[in-house]
């Protein structure tokens, strides 16, 4: 079994419902065990003007190889209506592999650790909540340290009363 971290995000439709149901789909796949789930966060978008996101992270123990996991995540995104047209646009569901044990992979289809994770508070804040001591293998820094070094403006804990 390998340990991996996944980021979940959505900003189209009922985003909270989407990420929670995507999480259930992921947890029902044989060979995938959900170890920890962060809180959900409302976050400002990166890129062109668009609605705020709901973001969170999970830590999984999995039997799948990284490429197999990528295929599974993309299938779940499709199931929830994800259309891949261009980068950094609004989406129904985004599932990204952040970390996979301490592997460093760089292929045309897959880069682990996620190439932008150390710049993104919407990833680091929820990941630090559930895996603060996990060492990001390129920077050699703990997730909690990386979260302290990034601008966290626009990332706020989603409270139940915030949900309309």
Catalytic sites, residue numbers? 82, 91, 94, 96
Q: Which whole-number Å values give the CA distances from 112 to 4, 97, 107, in the listed order?
A: 10, 7, 9
Provide CB contacts within 8 A for 60, sequence distance 6+. 3, 4, 5, 6, 26, 32, 33, 34, 35
Tokens 């190439």 correspond to what residue? 115
Helices (H), the chain: 15-27, 66-79, 121-130, 143-149
Q: Which two tokens stand for residue 11?
A: 């900003």
Q: What is the residue whose two structure tokens read 């966290």?
A: 152
- Helix or strand or coil: residue 6? strand
Q: What three-state secondary structure class fits 36?
A: strand
Tell me how far apart the alpha carbons of residues 31 and 62 are, in angstroms, rounded to a whole number.
5
């Amino acid at each position: 079994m390998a340990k991996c971290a996944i980021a979940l995000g959505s900003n189209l439709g009922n985003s909270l419902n989407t990420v929670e149901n995507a999480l259930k789909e992921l947890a029902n796949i044989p060979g995938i065990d959900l170890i920890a789930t962060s809180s959900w966060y409302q976050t400002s978008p990166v890129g062109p003007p668009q609605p705020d996101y709901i973001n969170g992270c999970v830590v999984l123990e999995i039997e799948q190889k990284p490429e197999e996991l990528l295929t599974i995540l993309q299938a779940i995104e499709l199931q929830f209506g994800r259309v891949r047209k261009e980068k950094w646009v609004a989406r129904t569901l985004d599932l990204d592999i952040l970390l996979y044990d301490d592997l460093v992979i760089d292929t045309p289809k897959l880069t682990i650790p996620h190439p932008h994770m150390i710049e993104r508070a919407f990833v680091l804040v929820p990941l630090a909540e559930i895996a603060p001591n996990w060492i990001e293998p390129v920077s050699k820094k703990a997730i909690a340290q990386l979260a302290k070094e990034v601008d966290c403006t626009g990332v706020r804990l989603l409270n139940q009363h915030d949900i309309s």
